[in-house]
Structure 1
């Protein structure tokens, strides 16, 4: 199939065009430099021949989702969204020079980096789930690396609100990282299917290929992949030296039965953080939005329409996850670093107060002794 030519970059007030970055089915991405504040930005622009009511609705939904979630440190930051001079909608966002897909194709990533990436992405997805939103296209190419080398989740173009059953209302997939129930078209997306997709993504980063691909590329057609994924017979990561703890947590995420997977991204993050602790690695902080933000009603816009779900349909934690979080909390400090737990630690302020009281008591006894001696 011939590659589609990138469209002409539009004139955007306050931005100067630099060069093209890539193109997709409905949009092109260009690098611009913003005039004030001066910074580079990746600008996603809808194709002129793709601007129909349905695509525009999806694009507007993506802008709304990104605006709600992009303050999270592991979600790409949006700068603005508007209409260009020639009538094409655009989305200006943080420029990320690399992707995890490009990284793992050069060489598989190490265990420590993959666990760290996993916790960060699980926290970003847990934040989205608590807001009642699914990403629905979790895969290595949608994990970007920003200018600081930190992973950020991008492309919420097919994100969907959860309905009352906890399922998404639209349907899309990327086969190698899609859950069996999605490929069987039993559901369009759930929290459980997102846990699978994140597990499959982490497996890919470790193995250099998706979980159900074979070394013989001729046997990796979409139909063949679907058949293997639906059967979901887990195989260990084919890289020497992968710890058993890591294979076990990936196997839990890639279980065929959705009910047997970790019940939430928070629970999956607990498994990842426990593995970090057991392997004597720094424990990555699990950062999610405050509960009052996650449960807030949607902002109402000038057209009096509410965009986004009114009430979250995702439980924030399970009892199992809460117990695991409590255990990890007892073993790490506020920065996520392991600490000794053999004896309780006294607060610094209490220690200083206690020391002060002790010194004062000694001084009083000395004075009383002198007085007694004089009498």
Structure 2
């Protein structure tokens, strides 16, 4: 089948066209230079033949979502979205390399590198799921690489949006990386189907081919769909791929959605366990949490810290008593101006000798300032005590995990516990001695070797506030 020629690049205000970067089934990507600020950018422009009013409206909604999600370090950054003068919607994006989508078919990628990529991309998918967004087109060619060698997920929601339109059939569907229930039109996408696609993508990066592709065999769309529905993925066939990783990918691509990891985060935990098994540094989870978004503005611990004393206009403060010598009339009323200005005396005077003279203004004594400081300090201490008491009361009200059980298998242990009564938005903070992790599932898998001891505690977190930790549960391998 002949490959189509790229469409003509649109004229975009503030951008200068340079060259074509690539073409897809529904869009072309061009290299432009942005005039201010000056930088090179990738501009994805939809083809005019797939555009209608409905697609434009859906494109704009998806572009807004993608722009919000692109703050994630593993999601492609979107700078701008608009419609060109000839009516084609376009996205202005960070310039990245698509070399990964070609490289995995040419060479065997190191297992540690694939694990790192898988965890970072799954972190982006988990963050999107928590924002209520499905990608629905996870595959190796949609993983780009930034100038700093960081993998990022692209085409967030755009391909799926087009796939739901009436413009063409299955335009957003990538068969080799689509779950059986999606291919059978049972659903347009779920968390479980995204986990399947994540597993298929990691499998592809390791094997150099999609999971149900037969080298030298029949690999038409109908052949792939038949195998995805009936067969199991063949072993990857690399001696450096651990059996534990093979098993994790098989679980992720299980035929039944309920047999797969329940979330992208659970899939991440399995990949991290493999990292620990092969002795490489664990790739951190990068998942945005609603409760920690609050802590970003005001750190949880900072709520009880004193940030300084704000100067107050004395007109709003109660009058201070002044000491005066006996036999001296009371000083006239004084008009207090704001801090930093001089004190002005009223027109009242008192006799002195044969005439009149203004009554001298007494400056505050050192003792006065000491008393004010003590009073302010007492107020601050009272506020701190109140905040601590409130926080303590809140902590006592949060549910607590009471009993943790452990099921040990060869090379790993699964800790589990009963739901103590979580509410919407609550999370479990699991601490294992290193950096704590947050999750929704009431279980945690850890890897270990003979002679190791793994200990965990579980704490309920609600809107940035941590409850009482559970008792520590330890297992020896």
TM score, norm. by length of structure 1: 0.75
- Per-residue CA deviations over 1:220-256 (Å, capped at 9, x if unaligned) read 1111111111014232212222111111111110111
**Structure showing greater Rg:** 2
Q: For the Cα contact (< 8 Å) 2:183–2:225, is it kept in 1? A: yes
Counterpart-to-counterpart distance in 1, 2:238 and 2:61 = 40
The structure with more strand, counted as a fraction of residues: 2
- Could you say if the C-alpha distance between residues 10 and 131 of structure 1 is closer, same or farther in structure 2, counting changes exceeding 3 Å? same
What's the counterpart of residue 249 of structure 1?
A: 248
**Alignment of 1:235 onto 2:337:** no
Q: For the Cα contact (< 8 Å) 1:58–1:158, is it kept in 2? A: no
What's the counterpart of residue 347 of structure 2?
A: none
**Alignment of 1:224 onto 2:218:** no
Counterpart-to-counterpart distance in 1, 2:454 and 2:192 = 39
Counterpart-to-counterpart distance in 1, 2:50 and 2:214 = 36
- Per-residue CA deviations over 1:244-271 (Å, capped at 9, x if unaligned) read 1111111110111110100000111111
Q: For the Cα contact (< 8 Å) 1:252–1:262, is it kept in 2? A: yes
**Alignment of 1:330 onto 2:329:** no
- After TM superposition, give the deviation of residue 27 of structure 1 in Å: 2.1
TM score, norm. by length of structure 2: 0.60
Per mean C-alpha deviation after superposition, the further-off stretch among 75-84 and 42-51 is 42-51
What's the counterpart of residue 355 of structure 1?
A: none
What's the counterpart of residue 122 of structure 2?
A: 122
1:160-309 residue pairs with structure 2 within 5 A? 172-217=172-217, 219-292=218-291
- Could you say if the C-alpha distance between residues 294 and 229 of structure 1 is closer, same or farther in structure 2, counting changes exceeding 3 Å? farther
What's the counterpart of residue 139 of structure 1?
A: 139
What's the counterpart of residue 316 of structure 2?
A: none
3-state SS of paired residue (1:234):
coil
What's the counterpart of residue 68 of structure 1?
A: 68
Q: For the Cα contact (< 8 Å) 1:117–1:151, is it kept in 2? A: yes
Q: For the Cα contact (< 8 Å) 1:98–1:146, is it kept in 2? A: no
Runs of at least 4 residues of structure 1 off by over 6 A?
319-322, 324-328, 341-344
- After TM superposition, give the deviation of residue 210 of structure 1 in Å: 1.0
Q: How many residues align?
A: 309
What's the counterpart of residue 106 of structure 1?
A: 106
- Per-residue CA deviations over 1:42-65 (Å, capped at 9, x if unaligned) read 001123343311321332133112
Q: For the Cα contact (< 8 Å) 1:283–1:332, is it kept in 2? A: no
**Alignment of 1:4 onto 2:106:** no
RMSD of equivalent CA atoms: 3.1
Task: Structure 1: give runs of 5+ residues left out of the alignment.
Answer: 161-169, 296-318, 345-375
Q: For the Cα contact (< 8 Å) 1:201–1:210, is it kept in 2? A: yes
